[in-house]
Amino acid sequence: MVNDAVVENVVEFDAFDLEHRANPYPRYRVLRETAPFCPVRLGAARVTVATTYAGCAAVLQGSEWGRGYADGLNPFRPGVAPGEVPGGSFLGMDPPDHTRLRALVSRAFTPRASLAETPFVRLVVDRLVAAAVDDGGLDVVAGLARPLSVAVMCRLLGVPVADAPSFLGWIQGIARGTDPDYLLSPADIVVRTACARDLGRYLFELVTVRRVAPRDDLVSRLVAIQRDQDVLTEVEIVELCALLLAAGLDTTANLVTNGVLALLRHPDQLELLRERPELMPAAVDEMLRYDPPSQFVTRVALADTTVGGQSFRRGDGVVVLSAAGHRDPAAFPDPDRFDVTRYAASPPARRHLGFALGLHYCLGAPLARIQAEAAIGTLLSRAGELRLATEDVEYRPNAALRGPASLLVNIKGDSDAHR
């Protein structure tokens, strides 16, 4: 636990223990109040946790920070060979490989390209919310958030939705495996490896099919780039597709789920958003700040460097605990308050770190926003009274990509009955 006993200047750290998964914020606060850069023991490793907004932002934006993958420097993935990026494609790389691969898929994720997906997103959301209203309730994870993100990612990449039952399990094994290895059991690591292998095989087959019969989708476009420009290997295509699927599913589903949960726990904010639906984009930013789907990311010092007066040696690891930075009173007034107008105020609140900052800034941010706005907005506008079926929300074990396993909500009447 984070206690007064600082053993050899290393804070004993429990904020990622399962017992705090449902509400890690009080532990994050203790850590932030201990130091802006807390040396902690994470399993066998000693790393530093950046706990303030300024510290997190500085590491995310600093050019001396990266993945250290080329020479196998990453202390969060001990045993991974230099140049190996288990299941991460360019997310786990540094320039120049990161730059080359990210550029190849960036065009599919511009705000404009994402906006073009809006009618499809609305269609899927309308169907899911109508079924929930008819049923008088839903599990937000299984009945809205996940099927929506699966439908959108499958359409974009050209992966058959019908195959979702098989690949969802693989993606969840990979998502669990994004936690630093010290937070994983040996069984989790075995599952991560098996899931990455099985998803890889599945995607290899899909690439082969699209090579023969191309369609209007991202897999086919990547295959065409490989054929025409010789700047991409087959393995890189498969890893890119695996990254996009893995990065776009659980994260977006967790944003919708965490957002609905925050609203249900703050009925005044829910009512305000119902009365003023134009606040929805700002509300989504507040959801990303208040209870972010990505709680932290990790970085490695690529050279000896200093941040906020703290020295680091090349190869040192930092946990950028954005979710703690989001509750930093030096950056956000009254940071523990969930306020859907925070980002609509003038001047708006400070930029949150929910999609990171810098080189690895989330490629899918516009697409994620469109889905969250449509899903939560439609639920609020179509459903009558919304209530949590139980206060006892069970979380999945993931620490980094944290979110509920399910969220049961009762719906009383439709929007007409509500008004």
The residue whose two tokens read 């690895």 is: 360
347 preceded by a cis bond (ω within 30 of 0): yes
Q: Give the DSSP letter string of 101-117.
A: HHHHHHGGGSHHHHHTT
Q: Identify each DSSP E strand in 115-205 by its residue range.
A: 137-139
Residue 54 or 389: the one with the smaller Cβ distance to ligand HEM is 54
Segments in 38-185 forming alpha helices (H): 53-61, 97-106, 111-115, 118-135, 140, 146-157, 164-176
Taking only Cα atoms into account, the Rg of the chain, rounded to an integer number of angstroms, comes to 21
The residue whose two tokens read 């997310």 is: 91
Q: Which of 109, 166, 136, 190 is nearest to 368 (CA)?
A: 109
Residue 247 or 262: the one with the smaller Cβ distance to ligand HEM is 247
Residue 66 or 143: the one with the smaller Cβ distance to ligand HEM is 66
Cβ(314)–Cβ(64) below 8 Å = no
Query: Shortest Cβ distance from residue 136 to ligand HEM (Å)?
Result: 28
Query: Shortest Cβ distance from residue 3 to ligand HEM (Å)?
Result: 29
Cβ(384)–Cβ(391) below 8 Å = no
Residue 298 or 378: the one with the smaller Cβ distance to ligand HEM is 298
Residue 117 or 414: the one with the smaller Cβ distance to ligand HEM is 117
The residue whose two tokens read 């609905």 is: 260
Instruction: Quote the distance between the C-alpha of residue 105 and its chain's center.
Output: 18
HSE at residue 81, side-chain half, CA atoms within 13 A, is 2
The residue whose two tokens read 């994620």 is: 368
Could you give phi then psi for residue 77, rounded to 5 degrees? -130, 65
Q: Which of 311, 296, 306 is nearest to 400 (CA)?
A: 296
Residue 10 or 405: the one with the smaller Cβ distance to ligand HEM is 405
Residue 24 or 411: the one with the smaller Cβ distance to ligand HEM is 24
Residue 180 or 335: the one with the smaller Cβ distance to ligand HEM is 180
Query: Shortest Cβ distance from residue 323 to ligand HEM (Å)?
Result: 10
Query: Shortest Cβ distance from residue 246 to ligand HEM (Å)?
Result: 9
Cβ(126)–Cβ(402) below 8 Å = no
Query: Shortest Cβ distance from residue 343 to ligand HEM (Å)?
Result: 15
Query: Shortest Cβ distance from residue 206 to ligand HEM (Å)?
Result: 16
Q: Which of 162, 175, 232 is nearest to 202 (CA)?
A: 162
96 preceded by a cis bond (ω within 30 of 0): yes
Nearest residue to ligand HEM, by Cβ distance, number only: 364
Query: Shortest Cβ distance from residue 413 to ligand HEM (Å)?
Result: 30
Other CB atoms within a 10 A radius of the CB of residue 109 amount to 20
Query: Shortest Cβ distance from residue 179 to ligand HEM (Å)?
Result: 12
Cβ(54)–Cβ(308) below 8 Å = yes
Q: Which residues contact ligand HEM (rule: CB under 6 A)?
A: 90-91, 102, 243-244, 247-248, 251-252, 255, 293-294, 297, 354-356, 360, 362-364, 367-368
Residue 40 or 253: the one with the smaller Cβ distance to ligand HEM is 253
Residue 56 or 129: the one with the smaller Cβ distance to ligand HEM is 56
3-state secondary structure of 77: coil
Q: Which of 319, 286, 26 is nearest to 178 (CA)?
A: 319
Residue 175 or 331: the one with the smaller Cβ distance to ligand HEM is 175
Q: Give the DSSP letter string of 299-320.
A: EEESSSEEETTEEE-TT-EEEE
Query: Shortest Cβ distance from residue 252 to ligand HEM (Å)?
Result: 4
Query: Shortest Cβ distance from residue 230 to ligand HEM (Å)?
Result: 23
Distance CA 273, CA 158 (A): 35
Query: Shortest Cβ distance from residue 408 to ligand HEM (Å)?
Result: 22
